[in-house]
Amino acid sequence: MIFHDIEQLTDEWTKARLGLPTASCFNKIITPKTGKLSSQADAYANRLISELILGRPQETFPPTYWMERGEMLEADAKKLYEFETGYNLKNGGFGTNDLGTAGASPDFRIFDDKDNLVGGGEIKCVAPWTHVENLLRDEIDPDYIPQVQGQILIYGFEFVDWFSYHPEMPPALIRTYRDDEYCEKLEAALQDFHAIKMAKIEKLRLQGMDI
């Protein structure tokens, strides 16, 4: 794994991710339940190639009220997570596999009292009704399995914690452990996806494009 100790949403972070498939979009490469190559893979490869051509990301979302609120509450949520678990948190940064062909950006990395990396995590400062839903959950929403197992695969985590926080309710911690079988399928899917993307790039280069 290649780790970049950079802050999320900075220019450096954006540049490091440009044109790379990242864990939050691994559901466009592999299906959450079956582990087969997704029907969205072809279109996702096209979008990533367009980023390389234009030199800027092509997935932008206007900030919502809940996103902005989440940024305001994130520091408090991290402090509570450390208090509740006894773990120490460090910057999630941006990590890629050894070949630099896929990446992930967890909100934080989790270390034990001997400073051993054990996991990664995501802070979720969500709407009250979504937080209640998270309090009732026994496991992560299956739609997010590619993202979570992708973070585990790339960073070598033992687990990933989703920590749902609301200042007026108890927190919800949803832990997902490594699924070796799924990680093997995901690794194979990422290799197939990289081959698809590179074949497209080669065809464009033959047309005279500088990529």
DSSP result, 166-193: -TTS--EEEEEE--HHHHHHHHHHHHHH
pLDDT (0 to 100) of residue 63: 65
pTM: 0.92
**Rounded-to-integer distance, Cα 59 and Cα 76, Å:** 28
**Rounded-to-integer distance, Cα 33 and Cα 67, Å:** 28
pLDDT (0 to 100) of residue 194: 97
| 42-74: pLDDT as tens digits | 999 999 999 999 999 987 666 676 666 767 789
| 127-174: pLDDT as tens digits | 999 999 999 999 999 999 999 999 999 999 999 999 999 999 999 999
- Dihedral of the alpha carbons of 145, 151, 156, 160, in degrees to the nearest 10: -70
| 70-125: pLDDT as tens digits | 677 899 999 999 999 999 999 999 999 999 999 999 999 999 999 999 999 999 99
The two structure tokens encoding residue 134: 């998270």
pLDDT (0 to 100) of residue 70: 66
Cα–Cα–Cα angle for 131, 7, 178, rounded to 5 degrees:
55
